[in-house]
Structure 1
């Protein structure tokens, strides 16, 4: 892949935050392919059971939802995203699940969730925390809509990996485990499990890289 110009890197950063248009559709599919192991790590951390209502913050194109529901029958999935393009793609890709009442997708402005209190048994979010303008406010909203003793899994690539990527200087806030622990201390959540994995993936700029990511599981 050719070396990206500064303008192209800036554009890629914007698309990773909120995919838009035809390019956004392509970026959304690429994110699905490169992040599927992270997504499934977030699912596994929640130990889903029949009857759970699951919320995902920042679902992307949601190509993983069928796989998620097939692994744990009897679930209902709700997806939340700031990107209208990803909202439309998710609804297109998962139209059969929507028609059967197994999945729903919702747009939001990036902070206030359009759900009542104590609705969800489990919540997950993968590769979104870098873009939260007010992280503690997002966690407060997650706690509000989560049932008592519910679980939240946060999956993120480690700061040591992310800071090597050219696009992260444009609107990304990077984290390591200590950063997450300090953030959680400001909330009503408690950390109950942490797992770190290293894998070989293709970066968003086309290069092969070794990525270290962590799944942190919180209890409400």
Structure 2
């Protein structure tokens, strides 16, 4: 695959646009569903929770969140206008019932008041954080005391084998994420690494190791 094609894949993964972006959104939802569910399950969602997700893609997984408990409110933030529109369309019933709320943000500042959420999660976005320490402190700010943050990501050992990750991506091992968390006020209360077979973005079946870190305010 040519460098330009690899760069285009990386760019679409970071910020889906156009028809290719819709395809990428669908593929990301399918490929990442086990990671997403793992993150959601580690939130231990309860009735009355307000939940925030950063970088939800097409948000085809939101139904799974409401399977945990119907009496919650879900808020999604996305940098991609296209994924924002797709998410609203796919989840139009939850949106019309005022159970799910989608907004666009620029990736550094979270447009909500202090102590707004019980739970926050994000899957496969950490590679694209522009200012990781600032974003972590923003998440800390909008979480209620004892609130939970789940960060789920594919391990650097796997990601560096993918040719497109040389563009746009900052790769992370568990140790590197833990070092980042040490600079914040969060405390790590659990971590789990799993390995699954997935079809890579270029078509082959590969073993992917991913980790969910569970943090508490």
TM-score range, shorter chain: over 0.9
Secondary structure of the residue aligned to 2:32 is: helix
Q: Give 2:184's match in structure 1, choosing from 187, 192, 201.
A: 187
Please list every run of at least 4 consecutive aligned residues from structure 1 whose deviation after the TM superposition is greater than 4 angstroms. none
Corresponding residue for residue 150 of structure 2? 153
1:30 and 2:2 aligned: no
1:84 and 2:86 aligned: no
TM-score (norm 2): 0.99
Corresponding residue for residue 119 of structure 2? 122
Corresponding residue for residue 108 of structure 2? 111
Where in structure 1 are there 5+ consecutive unaligned residues? none
Where in structure 2 are there 5+ consecutive unaligned residues? none
Q: Deviations over 1:48-93 (max 9, x none)?
A: 0001000000000000001211222211100001000000000011
Secondary structure of the residue aligned to 2:208 is: strand
Secondary structure of the residue aligned to 1:118 is: coil
Secondary structure of the residue aligned to 1:137 is: helix
- Distance in 1 (alpha carbons) for counterparts of 2:44 and 2:67: 14
- Distance in 2 (alpha carbons) for counterparts of 1:53 and 1:153: 14
Post-superposition offset of 1:135: 0.6
- Distance in 2 (alpha carbons) for counterparts of 1:192 and 1:96: 35
Q: Deviations over 1:153-174 (max 9, x none)?
A: 0000001000100011101111
- Distance in 1 (alpha carbons) for counterparts of 2:165 and 2:174: 18
- Distance in 1 (alpha carbons) for counterparts of 2:148 and 2:64: 20
Corresponding residue for residue 138 of structure 1? 135
Secondary structure of the residue aligned to 1:167 is: helix
Secondary structure of the residue aligned to 1:14 is: helix
Secondary structure of the residue aligned to 2:8 is: helix
Whether the aligned pair in 1 keeps the contact of 2:37 and 2:64 (CA below 8 Å) is no
Corresponding residue for residue 69 of structure 1? 66
Corresponding residue for residue 195 of structure 2? 198
- Distance in 1 (alpha carbons) for counterparts of 2:33 and 2:191: 19
Whether the aligned pair in 1 keeps the contact of 2:115 and 2:142 (CA below 8 Å) is yes
Q: Deviations over 1:78-125 (max 9, x none)?
A: 000100000000001111100001100010011011111100000000
Secondary structure of the residue aligned to 1:217 is: strand
